[in-house]
Amino acid sequence: MHDNADRAGLLGGHTHPARAGLAHRAQPEVGRSGGPRANPGDLVRLFVAIAPPAAVLDELDALAGPLRAHRPDLRWTSIEAWHVTLAFLGQVDQAAVARLLPRLERAARRHHRFRLAFCGAGAFPSAHRANVLWSGLSGDRGALARLAESVTAGASRAGAPPPDKGRRFQPHLTLARCRMPADVTELVAALAGFQGQPWTADRVHLVRSRLGATEQPRYLSLASWALRAPGPGEDAAPGPGEGPAA
């Protein structure tokens, strides 16, 4: 069931030494039979994401790196933890996790691989009083949104609806978080002209987030599933009606 890839680093794709970021787990915490190994009532903090290739992250890191020294007041995220979130699920019990796995597998099978690129920057809720500084995405944002919709639908049917379900999907990669609302207009301007190299989103990850004593959470890829490779004469994006089903 779990189309897990044995890749090292950032959700399986990065070669930098691991600090507090994402790590791939060869043996997922949920059994291949679909039954949880832990107590069904135990809660785990989960999100679903795609992991950009190492070279793409290195390119973005080279641009963002010099900015970090000028803004030590921000909590800059680790490159090993960089990802594009499809759906944040929050606290999920193990019984729901077991139901979630086949739903995510089905969602991945329904969607073709698609092309993206990092570009520009922005902030939530605004650059003048920011809580989050992020890099944006260009490319097939429609395919990305449809995949996120499928993941959200599957999670809801599994009994793990995202707490922000219904909110407009805003694809991004989080570069930094602010301890208090901060003015990041200069940072947004410095990153505004960035256009990264295109890359292919080809895999969906179910990720566990562990919040510890340190400021950086630890991410662990529990399972992953490949998106469909387009066949002869097929488009790279799913057709109408393939999107939200899961």
So which residues are the catalytic ones? 83, 172
Alpha-carbon distance values, 141 to 145, 157, 227, 237 (Å):
6, 24, 16, 10
Alpha-carbon distance values, 55 to 13, 16, 157, 201 (Å):
9, 11, 36, 14
- Helix (H/G/I), strand (E/B), else coil: 2: coil
- In sequence order, what are the beta bridge partners of 145? none
| Secondary-structure percent of the chain, ordered helix, strand, coil, rounded to 5 | 25, 35, 40
Token readout for 201 is 């989103």
CA dihedral sign of residues 237, 242, 245, 246: negative
* Contact of 145 with 70, CB cutoff 8 Å: no
